[in-house]
Amino acid sequence: MDLMKHLRDVPDFPKPGILFKDITPLLAHPEALAEAIRMLNEAASKFEFDAILAAESRGFLFAAPMALALGKPLIPLRKPGKLPWKVVSQKYDLEYGSAELQMHEDALQPGQRALLIDDVLATGGTIKAAAEIVRKVGAIPVAALFILELSFLEGKKLVDPLPTHSLLTI
């Protein structure tokens, strides 16, 4: 199945010059969504990890079914002001602006291994921040998985040495 057919290009969103890759057609197609989750689970099976970390917000959509299928804890990384307990934070730059991610400080124990999930690897800023948060609590980011990599933005370089795998690459 060609998952790329289930992504929609939206020019100039959310800012002029950005070609936004819209995953909502993929979400709306049960067979395509099932195939995406199956492929992500297969990629995940190549790594040893204790928990799945998902970047707000589209990462949640893929990480939750993965966590259920793989029998792993699911940890949300959220924007500031959303998590109710004590948090660790990391600021980062986006392809379009800057942002901050937070995780509950007790979500991972020192030495635990975390697999990171998001929909798109663009500049890599988001997933680099996620990996930094994991390291801040003494845990280990093992890899990051994505539906799509925008390779011309060289996100892989930014997150190096963290291994990344994407189902699709542009």
Which residues lie near ligand AMP (CB under 6 A)? 18-21, 55, 58, 94-95, 118-126, 150, 155
Q: How far is the CB of 118 from ligand AMP (least distance, A)?
A: 5
Which residue lies nearer to ligand AMP by CB, 67 or 120? 120
Which residue lies nearer to ligand AMP by CB, 76 or 125? 125
Which residue lies nearer to ligand AMP by CB, 51 or 95? 95
End-to-end Cα distance, the chain: 17
Q: How far is the CB of 127 from ligand AMP (least distance, A)?
A: 6
Which residue lies nearer to ligand AMP by CB, 102 or 126? 126
Q: How far is the CB of 32 from ligand AMP (least distance, A)?
A: 17
Contacts of 147 by beta carbon, 8 Å cutoff, 6+ apart:
3, 7, 23, 26, 36, 40, 62, 119, 120, 166, 167, 168
Q: How far is the CB of 110 from ligand AMP (least distance, A)?
A: 26
Q: How far is the CB of 96 from ligand AMP (least distance, A)?
A: 7
Which residue lies nearer to ligand AMP by CB, 23 or 67? 23
